[in-house]
Amino acid sequence: MMQKFLANAIVVIAAGSLGLSVVVLPSQVRSQPKGQTCEAAIANGRERITARRSITIISSSILDGSQTYPDHPDGRPKIVHISLDGKAANSVMQSPVLQKAISSEIISSCGSVGAVTFGRYRTDWTSTFGLMPSGTIKQFECVDPDPDRDKLSWGQLVCL
């Protein structure tokens, strides 16, 4: 234990003498699982949606999208779904800028999440933003329902 403390102290002293800023975090914080960061990103997204708005988040859940999207990004089959209700829910549903910002934060913090879907409670109104092969976050494109289509391609969303 003392050796670990001394090693951290030496790093801080060396960095200080070089004019560098170093933040030494307790080992508990450094070793937190990535899931904590993901949960925090989802909670932050929920807060950004409801802040100063008359909105209720009915649910937020992480779903397995691999059946719907077999061509999902590698290692990212999960889709976060956020269901909104309330007087101001339409304003969030009509704000691709806010949705993209929230989606970007969640996708970058959640290693297994490839997309985020926002849905207006008790309607078929949904909007999905996902990680594209280029590494960018983009809104999924609406496609018409097609009974001959077996699966959707990543980046597509059936819109009614």
Tens place of pLDDT per residue across the chain (160 aa) = 434 433 343 333 333 333 433 333 233 223 334 445 999 999 999 999 999 999 999 999 999 999 999 999 999 999 999 999 999 999 999 999 999 999 999 999 999 999 999 999 999 999 999 999 999 999 999 999 999 888 899 999 998 8
pLDDT of res. 112: 97
Measure the CA–CA gap between 69 and 39, rounded to whole angstroms. Answer: 23
Residues 59 and 120 in one domain: yes
Q: Look at residue 91 in the predicted model and tell me its pLDDT.
A: 96
12: left (phi over 0), alpha (psi -120 to 50) or beta: alpha
Is there a single domain that holds both residue 79 and residue 121? yes
- Separation between Cα atoms, residue 107 and residue 74, nearest integer Å: 13
* Residue 69 buriedness (CB in 10 A; 0-12 / 13-18 / 19+): buried
pLDDT at position 12 is 35
Backbone angles phi, psi at 2, to 5 degrees: -65, -35
Instruction: Please indicate, yes or no, whether residues 81 and 55 belong to a single structural domain of this protein.
Output: yes
Q: Are residues 94 and 136 in the same domain?
A: yes
Please tell me whether residues 122 and 111 are part of one structural domain.
Answer: yes
Q: Do both 67 and 9 map to the same domain?
A: no
Same domain, residue pair 107 and 121:
yes
Q: Exposed (0-12), middle (13-18) or buried (19+): which is 59, by Cβ within 10 Å?
A: exposed
| Number of domains, the chain | 2
Q: Are residues 70 and 120 in the same domain?
A: yes
pLDDT number for residue 5: 38
Domain identity same for 18 and 37: no
Rounded distance, CA 46 to CA 35, Å?
Answer: 17
Q: Which domain holds residue 14?
A: 1-31
Verify that 68 and 4 share a domain, yes or no. no
Are residues 98 and 20 part of one domain? no
* Cα dihedral across residues 24, 28, 31, 34: positive or negative: negative
Q: Check if the beta carbon of residue 87 is closer than 8 Å to that of residue 125.
A: no
What's the pTM value of the predicted model, to 2 decimals? 0.76
Run of H or E residues at 31 = none
Q: Tell me what pLDDT residue 33 has.
A: 45
In the three-class reduction of DSSP (H, G, I as helix; E, B as strand; rest coil), residue 81 is classed as: strand
